[in-house]
Amino acid sequence: MVCLGNICRSPLAEGILRSKSPNIIIDSAGTAAYHVGNSPDNRSIEIAEKYNIDLTNQRARQFNSHDFNNFDKIYAMDSDNYSKIISLAKNQKERKKVDLILNETFPKQFRSVPDPYYGGEQGFENIFLLINNACDIIAKKYDKR
Ligand code: 4NP
């Protein structure tokens, strides 16, 4: 699960998917390094708590090229981060692992989870619901394997 800072959207995606699929190995990262080592944003922690999901043990890290080997699937939260990840991929096999998370909910529409960093609480409720709906589909897909 990859966003820009790894403090708002992707920690939520990591926590939400883990709550639905405890047997899948899930991690999150940011394409930028500004917040490396930081806890998730309090607004993400609070919206997750409302739905009984604990993000407080997460710490931000930067996405790196090893992630292409370590994971079968890489979900970007928005199109900027999708492009950044694709630019780091070395071959077609790596590029094929990458998708926008909302393409699970809205196939081939290339929609982005809006960046909530400068928005208010309403933004976090909105991104929680968007990510939650996508994770319902992802959990069903990978549980079948
Ligand atoms: P995220 O949100 O990518 O969902 O973690 C952001 C966090 C920090 C910044 C931007 C977006 N920032 O500019 O510091």
Ligand 1 proximity of 33 Cβ (cutoff 6 Å): no
Q: Is 83 helix (H, G, I), strand (E, B) or coil?
A: helix
CA distance 139 to 145: 10
Nearest atom, ligand 1, residue 113 CA? 4
Query: Could you tell me the pLDDT band of residue 145, with boundaries at 50, 70 and 90?
Result: low
pLDDT tens digits along 62-115 = 999 999 999 999 999 999 999 999 999 999 999 999 999 999 999 999 999 999
Which CATH entry fits the domain spanning 2-143: 1.10.3720.10, 3.30.70.920, 1.10.1840.10, 3.40.50.2300? 3.40.50.2300
Residue 144 has pLDDT above 70, yes or no: no
Every domain of the chain and the residues it spans: 2-143
Query: Could you list the active site residues?
Result: 3, 9, 115
- 32 C-alpha to center of ligand 1: Å? 9
Please tell me whether the overall predicted TM-score, pTM, comes out greater than 0.85 for this model: yes
Query: Could you tell me the pLDDT band of residue 121, with boundaries at 50, 70 and 90?
Result: low
Beta strands in the chain (DSSP E): 2-3, 29-30, 74-76, 98-100
CA distance 17 to 23: 10
Q: Is 102 exposed, middle or buried (0-12, 13-18, 19+ CB in 10 A)?
A: buried
